[in-house]
Amino acid sequence: MTIWINVIVQGVLVGGLYAMFAAGLSLIFGIMRLVNIAHGDLIVLAAYLALVTAETLGIGPLPALLIVAPLMALVGYALQRLLLNRTLGHDLLPPLLVTFGLSVIIQNGLLELFSADSRRLQAGAIEVATFPLSEGLSIGALPLLSFVVAVAVIGALQLVLYRTALGRAFRATADDPDVAQLMGLDNQHIFALAMALSLAVVAVAGVFLAVRANFDPAIGPARLIFGFEAVIIGGLGSLWGTLAGGVLLGVAQAIGAQLDPGWQMLAGHLMFLLVLAVRPEGLFPRVRA
């Protein structure tokens, strides 16, 4: 029994990380209908940036985040302004193909720079610290921290979207870009700010990914898929739903892995397909018509 409680707790905690993968993705889709296929590779890019920053400056992962997050936001702003804004329009193809090309470029660029060896960001004592809950059941400090940060990130995004002028601009542009432009908003700039915010979240996700597990240049696409599954399971348009989706995905994977190590990913995908089959709008949808 304890073993299953343990499995579920671990699944919930890793689900926070998946929700962070998903939050940036869902923000971008919500505001400019752009599905960023390079999202997973950008997470891995952030992980490598954190690694380089931490190693060159000799600082821990969390201080490194203070450098990596603004840096990724800058990358996001530039990427949107110079490249991705050109792809937006009624045609689905350009944004998909350009971000797909970007994904291949980032993956192979990282491969060229860092080789295919898997790396890990050292976090020191916190890596092994645990809180005992009861007999045979304890929670790792690091997974707990990443879950708390995930909740904080999603709460912060929710605040930005619904309580600030920037959030109002985001929502206005999402509802009707033409009218938003007429009201004096600069859509190109708003979109670039949204991408900057998305990649700042990506940076947080990347750092926690790098601390939790080994990573290499090829793991980006799987992170994109986890994030995407969390968005769809949770329901489009709802950030808290995305958190729930991430948690459900994490739990499904943890249960699968407990049954048979080969079933970890498969159980997650099957969970996603099941939701798609019985409730295609997701569990907690909040989509305006």
- Select 138 or 264, whichever has its Cβ closest to other proteins: 264
Contact between 30 and 234 (Cβ < 8 Å): no
Instruction: Measure the CA dihedral 52/56/58/63, to 10°.
Output: -50
Q: Quick check: 276 binds other proteins (CB under 8 A)? A: yes
Q: Is 48 in the site for other proteins (CB under 8 A)?
A: no
**Residue (of 227, 166, 172, 163) closest to 193 by Cα position:** 166
Could you say whether residue 29 binds other proteins (CB under 8 A)?
yes
Inter-residue long-range contacts of 78-83, CB under 8 Å, 24+ positions, other chains counted: 78/192, 79/195, 79/199, 80/191, 80/192, 80/194, 80/195, 80/196, 81/188, 81/189, 81/192
**Residue 232 within binding range of other proteins, rule CB under 8 A:** yes
CB 61 within 8 A of CB 180: no
| Nearest distance in Å: CB 285, other proteins | 13
- 74-133 positions binding other proteins, by CB under 8 A: 83, 86-87, 92-98, 100-105, 108-109, 111-112
Summary count for the chain: helices (H), strands (E) = 11, 2
Element (H, E) at 84: none
Closest CB 229 distance from other proteins, rounded Å: 7
| Of positions 7, 9, 37, 243, contacts other proteins by CB under 8 A | 37
Q: Which is nearer to other proteins, 86 or 163 (CB)?
A: 86
Stretch that binds other proteins, among 142-150, 162-170, 245-253, 266-274 (CB under 8 A): 266-274
Which spans of this chain sit near other proteins (rule: CB under 8 A)? 29, 33-35, 37, 83, 86-87, 92-98, 100-105, 108-109, 111-112, 221-222, 224-225, 228-229, 232, 262-263, 265-266, 269-270, 272-273, 276-277, 280
